Amino acid sequence: MGRKTSRSEDKLWAYVGAGDGMYCPLRTDCDFRKSGGWCADDNLEFVSIRYSLLVTPGDYEFIRFSGHCKMFKLVECLAQSYLQIGGISCPPVSTSLAMLADELDSIEVRLVPLKMNHGGLWRLEGKWVVQLNSNDNPTRRRYTLFHEVFHILAHLRTTPVFSKVGCEGGSFNESLADYFAACVLAPPHWVKKEWTKFKDIAQMAAHFDVPYVVMFVMLKRMGLI
């Protein structure tokens, strides 16, 4: 993209580019992790399974944590900046925002009856092609779309490594893409404001047009439930 990036964005892409895709690039030098904070890097498979399958949540201790590590804070800043670029200030977020990921090349979204994945990203003939699983419901496809948008942004700014098809277990960079999608569709500061009105997870999920488990995880992250 031709726009000027913030210092936090530059830091994020520098870290992503320096990593191997599977583990947090700050893994050995993270004060948050050293202090006993809940670390996604130590729970990648557990997190990826729940986001991939969108398992109906129970009393999952894995999201009962306070605070965020540096990488996830930077992703949150990126999502906020992306929403500002699109001039979006309230839910639900329009999927047309995805088209702004690349200022130079177009982005085409195709519905495909995928068997193993929720989505995929391809670079074909000078444009981005995002495949979304036609078997998924529209709310799930919205989430997958912005997951793939993170991949586009990453490829424009650095040389990222993402998990390959058939990879078993989780991938840290995929977790970043998951969190970016959640923060674009349900930004924490919006969630906090709207929660005072609804006080109901299902109603919040419908209001933001996100999968129930995505809203559940965001509310747990913020300590609201």
Angle made by CA atoms 36, 216, 61, in degrees to the nearest 5 = 35
Amino acid (one-letter) located at 183: C
Q: What percent of the chain has pLDDT over 90?
A: 56
| pLDDT for res 150 | 96
| pLDDT for res 165 | 41
Q: What is the pLDDT of residues 123-174, one digit of tens each?
A: 988 899 999 999 999 999 999 999 999 999 999 999 876 644 434 445 888 8
The helix (run of H) or strand (run of E) holding residue 112 is strand 107-112
Rounded to two decimals, the pTM is 0.88
Mean residue pLDDT of the chain comes to 84
Q: What is the pLDDT of residues 53-110, one digit of tens each?
A: 555 555 454 444 455 688 889 999 999 999 999 999 999 999 999 999 999 999 999 9
pLDDT surpasses 90 at 3: no
Helix and strand numbers, DSSP H then E, in the chain: 9, 3
* Domains along the chain with CATH numbers: 7-221 (1.10.10.2910)
| pLDDT for res 38 | 65
pLDDT surpasses 80 at 37: no
CB atoms near residue 90 (< 10 Å):
10
